[in-house]
Structure 1
Amino acid sequence: MAYKGIDYLRKKLLIKRGRVKTRYMYYSMKHRVPDFGISTPPKLRNMMSTLGWCGKAVDSVADRLVFREFANDYFEINSIYQSNNPDVLFDSAILGALIASCSFIYIVPDADGYPRLQVINGDDATGVLDPVTNMLLEGYAVLKRDDYNNPEVEAYFTAESTIIYNKRSGAEIYDNPAPYPLLVPIIYRPDANRPFGRSRISRACMSIMASASRTIKRSEISAEFFSFPQKWVTGLDRDVEILDKWQAAMSAMFTLSKSGNRNDGEPKFGQFTQQSMQPHTEQLKMFASLFAGETGLTMDDLGFVMDNPSSQEAIKASHETLRLYAKKAQRNFSAGFLNAGYLAACVRDNYAFKRRQLYLTTAKWEPVFEPDAAMLSSIGDGAIKLNQAVPEYLDKETLRDITGIASNN
């Protein structure tokens, strides 16, 4: 097979890396929002205002995705994942995929030949994707960077071998027993136009976040006027020092001197009308509403307390869009985790199994919304009626899929 080569993949990663880093900056609330420079005093233009809405949009889905196990696990993939710290592995891969649209699982055998699994974020790995299997035809990853963020240890993956490039010790070549490269993508919402998926932090999310952050900044500046209203005085002598325009606008005292030699009597004092914070609050609420509509969250999730739902069903109804996002993510990630387990099984047994041999193996997830007591009662009543109509239609495994509660026997 003709490969594009490591140089091509290095350039491809360099192009995509900036976009991924931007989304990580929004997730970690370290992004800098450009200031329009219209209503901000020069001394406050470097002031940063941040919101955690992008992090909330990602975590609201990531925290609801709890991988349980593989059913019909004839290749003992569950045991491989159980040996590779699954509580951290699954959560890390899911979180990275939601932020960057794609994360990767790197498979390497240990000294005894048993597969070890490691998650690599989307800003450190890329490859050429097979659109049929959603596995890579060839891959590239940066395994270690130096203090200046330059690649120090790199890996190039093909179906025949894995090549490790170390700037200090040189290259090492390891044979690959699997039929695909040992770098598996975990993709969120892929399609024919974007095979590596889409980020949960979309362009609309970033634009709304920037506007909301500027609103917070303007409200902070306006709060100074709101807390200490500006006063004015007229009729002062012209010899009084005149402030520059920003000092005049921000000062607690605004002065107007006499014109010419007119004698208008004593100076007159007054106070401007106190500013209102209401326009800033309404504008921020508008952006919160736009962000909630974009991400499937509610206004309660973004800090604007509305009417509290009274039941689990009401909560599920208000998060219906979020539930659909989570179910879609489960389907996407199931394929990626199964592909990684399949290749790990090939490494463990040192044998190139066929991918179609795993057609019976399916991924099991915990329920997106954990049922409360009232919901459990409704499920129980429904299960009894269904089993009366069709005997043994619902067994304990099916009920666990619905409720997330495991039976002890």
Structure 2
Amino acid sequence: MADNLSYLKQLLANKRTRSELRYRHYEMKSHPQDLFSTAELKAWNLRPVLGWCSKAVDSLADRLQVKGWKNDNFNLETIFRMNNWDIFFDSAILSALINGCSFVYISEDETGFPRVEVIDGMNATGIIDPVTNLLKEGYAILERDKNDAPVREAYFETGRTTFYEKGQEPYSVANQAPAPLLVPILYRPDAKRPFGHSRISRAMMSLVNSAVRTTKRSEVAAEFYSVPQKYVLGTDPDAEALDKWKSTISSLMEISKDEDGDRPTVGQFTQQSMQPHMDQIRTFAALFGGESGLTMDDLGFVSDNPSSAEAIKASHESLRVLAEKAQRVFGSCFLNVGYIAACLRDNFPYHRRQFYLTEPVWRPAFKPDAAALSGIGDGAIKINQAVPGYFNKDNLTDLTGIDPSEMEIPEEDDL
């Protein structure tokens, strides 16, 4: 066990740097290095930031909303409802999108009921089973001190969790779960990278860094554009020096002739144009939009003509596909969380195949507007005329995202 624990600690340390980099981009704390900078520019200490990476993550995370569970034979919804349903799902999804994966630590409260806690990808890792997407072994840092040093750690095995607290002897807690009590939540996993891919790709980070450098250059250019540089030629070296500040802000400046009747030449350098910088930022925004599935409107370049709901939905087709893909993967991962939590709750090692009918129900990634609702209604009526009962309140909810009314329909005799 000691060898496996050391391996997992080293694995987490190797991945931590990349996770911190993506969190810095998400939190807009990353400041790219200038390609060519002078001492004068460094003295200005310009640090512009762009929120495109956080926009790319949030625009997808905000569209992933769990509505409930279908065929919930083991009452999994109660477990999640009793564990801050909204905060839990949002936190797990957001962390998984940033890191590529997050983890859910399952434990028991004072009454023996399952308690679920989200741990980000910087503080947990493991050896994954590619068939079930459950862990074979896991390691997590449950608590850190103010200096970011681990205070409480845990090593997860099937049937046992060993805790390591600073200054105390390790102790183990047994359980009846058929897998470790640390469950991964994955975003876009594949055979090569079973722990998933981050929503903040290398291309996104590179484009944001380039756009930030362009923004910094535009700030410098704006200063010279606002206060253009001037020059004076042919001044007498023995004459009193001009006050540069007064000569800049004065509306009227007098320069007299010298003894020989000569006068200096006053001129102004051509002002820099801001347009090249704006064009370059728009180019980076277009490239970032193509990489992330966002539109120019999402990135702050608002079009003159407002789009309808259908036009917005059509322009976000890539984002809709990403959201539906994420729903499928996250749904399987959350089912794993409910499966292990149910085993811990009932103190019984259920088989995973017993949960194959249970699946989460998601709200539509794009909620329809009034025109779309009218189209859905017309379509449902026509299809039901051809195939009676094809559409009903259960499957129409999946299309509209609106729950059916619980009011009883009055009988004709009561009208």
Whether TM-score is above 0.5 comes out as yes
**Which is worse superposed, 92-101 or 106-115?**
106-115
Q: What is the SS of the residue equivalent to 1:126?
A: strand
Distance in structure 2 (CA, Å) of the matches to 1:366 and 1:40: 54
What residue in structure 2 maps to residue 256 of structure 1?
none
What residue in structure 1 maps to residue 148 of structure 2?
149
What residue in structure 2 maps to residue 275 of structure 1?
272
How has the CA–CA distance of structure 1 residues 326 and 36 changed in structure 2, closer, same or farther, with 3 Å as cutoff? same
Distance in structure 2 (CA, Å) of the matches to 1:385 and 1:44: 70
Look up the equivalent residue of 1:199 and give its one-letter code.
S
Deviations 1:173-207 (A, max 9, x none): 10021110000000000001111111110000000
- CA drift of 1:238 comes to 5.2
The TM-score, its normalising length taken from structure 1, stands at 0.92
Look up the equivalent residue of 2:152 and give its one-letter code.
V
What residue in structure 1 maps to residue 283 of structure 2?
286
Counterpart contact for 1:106–1:119, Cα < 8 Å: yes
Deviations 1:331-385 (A, max 9, x none): 1100110000000000000000000111111111000011111110100011111
- CA drift of 1:39 comes to 6.4
Structure 1 stretches of at least 4 aligned residues deviating more than 6 Å after TM superposition: 239-242
Distance in structure 1 (CA, Å) of the matches to 2:213 and 2:373: 45
- CA drift of 1:391 comes to 1.0
Counterpart contact for 1:100–1:198, Cα < 8 Å: yes
Q: What is the SS of the residue equivalent to 2:151?
A: strand
- CA drift of 1:168 comes to 2.7
Q: Percent identity?
A: 56
| 2:397 aligned to which of 391, 397, 400 | 400
What residue in structure 1 maps to residue 110 of structure 2?
111
| 1:371 aligned to which of 368, 371, 374 | 368
What residue in structure 2 maps to residue 20 of structure 1?
19
Counterpart contact for 1:37–1:45, Cα < 8 Å: no
Equivalent positions of 1:72-87 (< 5 A) are: 72-87=71-86
The TM-score, its normalising length taken from structure 2, stands at 0.91
Gaps of 5+ in 1: 243-247, 254-262
What residue in structure 1 maps to residue 254 of structure 2?
none
Equivalent positions of 1:183-194 (< 5 A) are: 183-194=182-193
Distance in structure 1 (CA, Å) of the matches to 2:70 and 2:306: 35
Look up the equivalent residue of 1:391 and give its one-letter code.
P
What residue in structure 2 maps to residue 258 of structure 1?
none
Deviations 1:101-135 (A, max 9, x none): 00011000112211000000010000001000011
What residue in structure 1 maps to residue 316 of structure 2?
319
Q: Does the alignment pair 1:380 with 2:377?
A: yes
Q: What is the SS of the residue equivalent to 1:346?
A: helix
Equivalent positions of 1:45-84 (< 5 A) are: 46-84=45-83
How has the CA–CA distance of structure 1 residues 84 and 319 changed in structure 2, closer, same or farther, with 3 Å as cutoff? same
- CA drift of 1:308 comes to 3.8
What residue in structure 2 maps to residue 159 of structure 1?
158
Look up the equivalent residue of 2:394 and give its one-letter code.
E
Look up the equivalent residue of 2:301 and give its one-letter code.
F
Counterpart contact for 1:157–1:163, Cα < 8 Å: yes
Distance in structure 2 (CA, Å) of the matches to 1:173 and 1:264: 98
Distance in structure 1 (CA, Å) of the matches to 2:142 and 2:228: 57
How has the CA–CA distance of structure 1 residues 119 and 383 changed in structure 2, closer, same or farther, with 3 Å as cutoff? same
Q: What is the SS of the residue equivalent to 1:170?
A: coil
Look up the equivalent residue of 2:134 and give its one-letter code.
M
How has the CA–CA distance of structure 1 residues 65 and 239 changed in structure 2, closer, same or farther, with 3 Å as cutoff? farther
Instruction: Indicate the RMSD between aligned Cα atoms, in angstroms.
Output: 2.0
Equivalent positions of 1:121-200 (< 5 A) are: 121-200=120-199
What residue in structure 1 maps to residue 206 of structure 2?
207
Counterpart contact for 1:229–1:274, Cα < 8 Å: yes
- CA drift of 1:4 comes to 5.6
What residue in structure 2 maps to residue 93 of structure 1?
92
Look up the equivalent residue of 1:280 and give its one-letter code.
H
What residue in structure 1 maps to residue 33 of structure 2?
34
Q: Does the alignment pair 1:339 with 2:336?
A: yes
How has the CA–CA distance of structure 1 residues 238 and 110 changed in structure 2, closer, same or farther, with 3 Å as cutoff? same
Distance in structure 2 (CA, Å) of the matches to 1:109 and 1:182: 10
- CA drift of 1:309 comes to 4.6
Q: What is the SS of the residue equivalent to 2:126?
A: strand
Distance in structure 2 (CA, Å) of the matches to 1:264 and 1:180: 97
Equivalent positions of 1:349-368 (< 5 A) are: 349-368=346-365
How has the CA–CA distance of structure 1 residues 39 and 293 changed in structure 2, closer, same or farther, with 3 Å as cutoff? farther
What residue in structure 2 maps to residue 223 of structure 1?
222
